[in-house]
Amino acid sequence: MQKTKVHRCRFVDYVPSAIQAISFKPSIQPGDSTFAAVARADGEIEIFNVTEHWLPIMKFYKKDTYETAEGITWVGDRLFSCSLNGRVIEWDLQTGKQKQQIDSYGGAAWCICASSEENILAVGCEDGSVRLFDISDGQLIYSKALKRDQTRILSICWDKKSNLIACGTANSFILLWNPVTLQCVKQMTVEQTKKDDTFIWSVTSLNDGVLVSGDSTGRTSFWDMETGVLLQAFTSHAADVLAVAAYDDFHVFSAGIDTKTVMFQRVRTTSENIPLSLQKWHVSGRGKLHSHDVRAIACNEDLGLVVSGGIDCQLRLHHEPLSFPKGPTSYILPYPLDPIISLAKESHMMLVQKQNSVKVFGLEVNLFENMIMENSSKDDITAEKNSVCLLQLNFKLPIIKAAINNTGSLIAVSDPFETKLFKFNSDEKQVVKIKTFPRSARTIAFIDNILVFTDHNSLIAFDNDSLEEKVLLVDDGNCLNLTLPGLIIKSVVDSKSKNIALCSADNKITIVDIIDFAITDSFPMEKDVTAMAFHHNHPLLLLATFDRCIQIYDLDLKHFSFRSISDPLKNTKERDFIQGFAFHSDRSESFFFYTTSFFGLIDMNRVRQKNPAMITGKRKADHKKKFKNQKECAYKIYNYYKPLMFVDFMDNDMVVVERPWLAVMENFPDAFHEPSFGS
């Protein structure tokens, strides 16, 4: 049996951010892909392709230390957010950056919504006003204000039936505004506890003129917007109700600090004398899907889906909302799809990217443990080993991407404004900034001493051959620019051929020769790519798609020379995407791949075998049996370590980075505790 040494790393203290808001993009035409935007407490906004098993396709980063994402809303193909720093932002889905922003003119912006005509944006502000913005014709211009008193507006929604704006305040009132006359037409008072004001954390309206609110007393209330009368109220939560959402006119969901999710269902009646808005509601289901506070709920009736999220950072999906709490549920862990770890293989160092810092660890050779790759017994796994932190760089702005070169002497870090290049002396533990590029980088890689990074639709290569000098004098001729079509979201380099492969948002793969700085090949992909890598021993490009298939592209023949590999992942979770590839130098005809749950080994010699579906006649049955036996030996799955964040090889020794979910939960605040009777 061939043994492989493994360095098991659990010292990477990756901590995700809590979920603040969730919003589904409305479908314009039948058959369109469905997208969802998820705002997190650190100001980042993630875009998921819901149709493709919730594949994360894009991430927006904040440009201000104090910028948050308190609320998000879709207006057609446009995405808007509001922040506690008083900014209203439109995000560009083509470039992955801020398209335009404007001040709220009312202090911190707590909530946001749009009119049914999709031409006006309403923002609830700290000064108690609702600011209206004109967003017609692609613009974002301040229009007017609806102002009443000095209490902040915590929640807001725009009713389609009455065309009124409903606002939940921090002083026990729900206000109904007429955006045409700028007048407050209704004021509804919620129940107060003792002398404290009640916070209305969330409001939503139904198509029949019923308004649903959730407040800090744990009550979910149903109001008649036409008369301003309280129809019903349920104290279904033991603490604040932070989110309410309507699945349809007959089902409403609420959740909050007590970690519970409650479904309310309208009692259907056959009497024609009772209007729909006056029909009674009742609690039809309760469930506990989260371990901590639930801050956001979103419903999509077309997909039959209810999604929730909160402090535990997970997205919880309920696939049969009408049978809640029964029915299938699933979850999406917040581990990043793109690796935040890179290796300096020659110097045995590991770079770990965090939100506002970069850490470099030294991996000692004598700390590696032994594992028999062909044996699935866990007895061969020894305890984990720690490594030493050699360097930590702290930054004020969030880090988009960071990487270290193969020798560990160069470190590149990018924020939303610029990319910095550092020289690192590991012996003296000194780091010096030697170059600043006035543009951010979506992807960063090193080919020897050549820094290669991409920004929007440009590829930038910087030659660092004279880096031994104390001060590097940069010549303009050393900075090369190449315009490429589409937003570049992934890249991978090949140190041997000096090539880089770029993947754009429209799934087009482009191969660029870094030395000649010319495009050598380009081809489209039918499905979204989750990972790609150059084979270490053959001119092949490995591509993993969202449906967990692996396709192999021959760079010499310029076509796909292997059949698609999907067998190893048939019985795994559909959202367990392939995150990366790894190569052992002594295994020239095989490669490793990894997901969050496991890593696998694939033998390409057996992959080359012809599929029995291509064979007809008398030989089909015999070949099918032979092919089945070969297929069973073509790959092997290893589930020793999980959840996995990174897998690669260093001097033929495997480096495995784990981040157990229990270790992540240790960083969460204490969950709500409801005392039992008699305690």
Instruction: For each of the domains in the chain, give its residue range(s) and CATH number, in order of start.
Output: 16-332 (2.130.10.10), 341-665 (2.130.10.10)
- Using the predicted structure, report yes or no on whether residue 494 has a pLDDT greater than 50: yes
Question: What is the number of other CB atoms lying within 10 angstroms of the CB of residue 282?
Answer: 10
pLDDT tens-digit readout, 238-267: 999 999 999 999 999 999 999 999 999 998
pLDDT band at 358 (very low <50, low <70, confident <90, very high): very high
User: What gap in Å lies between CA 625 and CA 276, rounded to an integer?
Assistant: 63
Q: Coil, strand or helix: which one is 93? A: coil
Query: Do the Cβ atoms of 237 and 244 come closer than 8 Å?
Result: no
The pLDDT, as a whole number, for residue 115 is: 92
pLDDT band at 295 (very low <50, low <70, confident <90, very high): very high
The pLDDT, as a whole number, for residue 380 is: 33
Q: How many residues does the chain have?
A: 679
The pLDDT, as a whole number, for residue 471 is: 26
The pLDDT, as a whole number, for residue 448 is: 77
pLDDT band at 576 (very low <50, low <70, confident <90, very high): confident
What's the rounded mean pLDDT across residues 64-90? 90
Range name among 94-103, 260-269, 605-614 with the lowest pLDDT average: 605-614
DSSP state of 625: H
Higher pLDDT, 286 or 428: 286
Q: Which of 124, 120, 90, 125 is nearest to 107 (CA)?
A: 125
The pLDDT, as a whole number, for residue 465 is: 57
User: What gap in Å lies between CA 330 and CA 307, rounded to an integer?
Assistant: 10
pLDDT tens-digit readout, 335-351: 998 889 999 998 889 99
The pLDDT, as a whole number, for residue 619 is: 46
Indicate the pTM of the whole model: 0.88
Q: Which of 211, 121, 126 is nearest to 169 (CA)?
A: 126
The pLDDT, as a whole number, for residue 469 is: 29
Which residues neighbour 314 within 8 Å (Cβ) at sequence distance 6 or greater?
Answer: 290, 331, 332, 333, 334
DSSP state of 101: E
Q: What percent of the chain has pLDDT over 70?
A: 85
User: What gap in Å lies between CA 316 and CA 133, rounded to an integer?
Assistant: 33
The pLDDT, as a whole number, for residue 573 is: 61
DSSP state of 196: B
Higher pLDDT, 36 or 637: 36
Handedness of CA 625, 629, 634, 640 (dihedral sign): positive
pLDDT band at 457 (very low <50, low <70, confident <90, very high): low
pLDDT band at 484 (very low <50, low <70, confident <90, very high): low
**Alpha-carbon distances of 636 from 248, 375, 411, 565, 595, rounded to whole Å:** 46, 10, 35, 13, 14
Which residues neighbour 168 within 8 Å (Cβ) at sequence distance 6 or greater?
Answer: 153, 154, 155, 156, 174, 199, 200, 201, 202, 203, 213, 215
Higher pLDDT, 149 or 410: 410
Phi-psi region of 348 (alpha: psi -120 to 50; beta: other; left: phi over 0): left
Q: Following DSSP, what letter does each residue of 233-274 receive, concatenated?
A: EE---SS-EEEEEEEETTEEEEEETTS-EEEEEE-----SSS
pLDDT tens-digit readout, 118-156: 899 999 999 999 999 999 989 999 999 998 777 899 999
- Using the predicted structure, report yes or no on whether residue 496 has a pLDDT greater than 70: yes
Query: Do the Cβ atoms of 646 and 580 come closer than 8 Å?
Result: yes
Look up residue 360 and give its two tokens.
């470099």
Look up residue 38 and give its two tokens.
């998820």
User: What gap in Å lies between CA 54 and CA 34, rounded to an integer?
Assistant: 9
What's the rounded mean pLDDT across residues 218-238? 93
Which residues neighbour 212 within 8 Å (Cβ) at sequence distance 6 or greater?
Answer: 203, 204, 205, 206, 220, 221, 222, 223, 244, 246, 252, 254
What's the rounded mean pLDDT across residues 231-241? 93
User: What gap in Å lies between CA 112 and CA 166, rounded to an integer?
Assistant: 11
The pLDDT, as a whole number, for residue 269 is: 73
pLDDT band at 630 (very low <50, low <70, confident <90, very high): very low
- Using the predicted structure, report yes or no on whether residue 352 has a pLDDT greater than 70: yes
Q: Considering the chain, what is the average pLDDT of its residues?
A: 84
What's the rounded mean pLDDT across residues 523-534? 92
**Alpha-carbon distances of 436 from 340, 413, 448, 489, rounded to whole Å:** 21, 10, 19, 22
Q: Following DSSP, what letter does each residue of 423-464 receive, concatenated?
A: EEETTTTEEEEEEEESS--SEEEEETTEEEEEETTEEEEEE-
- Using the predicted structure, report yes or no on whether residue 302 has a pLDDT greater than 70: yes
CA 311 to chain CA mean position, Å: 15
**Alpha-carbon distances of 379 from 375, 376, 382, rounded to whole Å:** 10, 9, 8
pLDDT band at 676 (very low <50, low <70, confident <90, very high): low
pLDDT tens-digit readout, 360-369: 998 875 445 5
- Using the predicted structure, report yes or no on whether residue 391 has a pLDDT greater than 50: yes
Instruction: Calculate the dihedral angle through the C-alpha atoms of 637, 643, 645, 646, rounding to the nearest 10 degrees.
Output: -30
Q: Coil, strand or helix: which one is 366? A: helix
pLDDT tens-digit readout, 8-17: 888 898 999 9
The three-point CA angle 373-376-377 to 5° equals 115
